[in-house]
Amino acid sequence: MPLSTDEVIDTAAELLRRHGLADLSMRRLASELGVRPGALYWHVENKQTLLVRVADRVLADVPTTTSGAPARDIRRLLTAIRTAVLPVPDGGEVVALGYALDPTSVQVFVHLRRLIGDLGVAGRDRAAATDLIVHHVLGSIAAQQDRQLAGLPTRGASAAFDRGVALVLDRLGRPTETTETAGATESTETTDRRQEEAT
């Protein structure tokens, strides 16, 4: 039976779950599938592309249903993302790489950006807010996984994560001073001051 792309991605995701990122090499993956390494490149362009697809697969079961209340939906989505990635060794690193290489390839983050738009955040602010929230989620995951590896306590990690999400959501949708607005204000103030000095 010919090798399928789904089989390649599923096997790579399973290797990540069992052994972590260090053992997820193209050679190891090919061995697991019983093919030569070159056969993998019919399905993925390179290892970076593979990891992007694996990141999306790790998050494939995260629900993206909506309730009509964007802030509540965002909280639920972020909690589900964190729950899905935490048990996966190096999962935070792989998802972060996938998001960095191609943000539109990880569907839950596309959904997150849409929900942020539903809050009334638009344009570059929506992109910036999405980046901020994604970095908070993945940073929280990485920090907890690092502490677990070091045998350190992780009590309070979930509460700290929830608090960070609440703080960000509290600010979203409020009018904020953009860089352009700040620059225009500063320029106007400088002009007014010079005019006062001239008189």
| Domains of the chain listed by start with CATH number | 5-57 (1.10.10.60), 63-178 (1.10.357)
**pLDDT band at 172, cuts 50/70/90?**
confident
On whether the pTM is more than 0.85, the answer is no
Q: Treating both helix axes as pointing N-terminal to C-terminal, what angle do 91-101 and 123-149 enclose, rounded to 10 degrees?
A: 160
pLDDT over threshold 80, residue 198: no
CA distances from 3 to 13, 24, 42 (A): 16, 18, 10
Identity of the residue numbered 32? E
What six digits make up the tokens of 35?
């093919």
Token output for 148: 């677990």
Nearest CA to 67 among 118, 108, 109?
A: 118
How many other CB atoms are found less than 10 A from the CB of residue 96? 20
Taking only the tens place, the pLDDT of each residue in 39-84 is 999 999 999 999 999 999 999 999 999 999 999 999 999 999 999 9
Amino acid 2: pLDDT: 84
Tell me how many degrees the CA angle 86-133-47 measures, rounded to the nearest 5.
Answer: 60
Q: Would you say 137 and 99 are in contact if contact means Cβ atoms under 8 Å apart?
A: no
Q: Using CB atoms within 10 Å of the CB of residue 45, give its burial: 0 to 12 exposed, 13 to 18 middle, 19+ buried.
A: exposed
Q: Which uninterrupted H or E stretch holds 38?
A: helix 37-40
Maximum Cα–Cα distance across the chain: 87
Name every residue whose Cβ is closer than 8 Å to that of residue 151 and which is 6 or more positions away in sequence. none
Q: Comparing 181 with 84, which gets the higher pLDDT?
A: 84
- 74-83, 112-121, 169-178: range with lowest mean pLDDT: 169-178
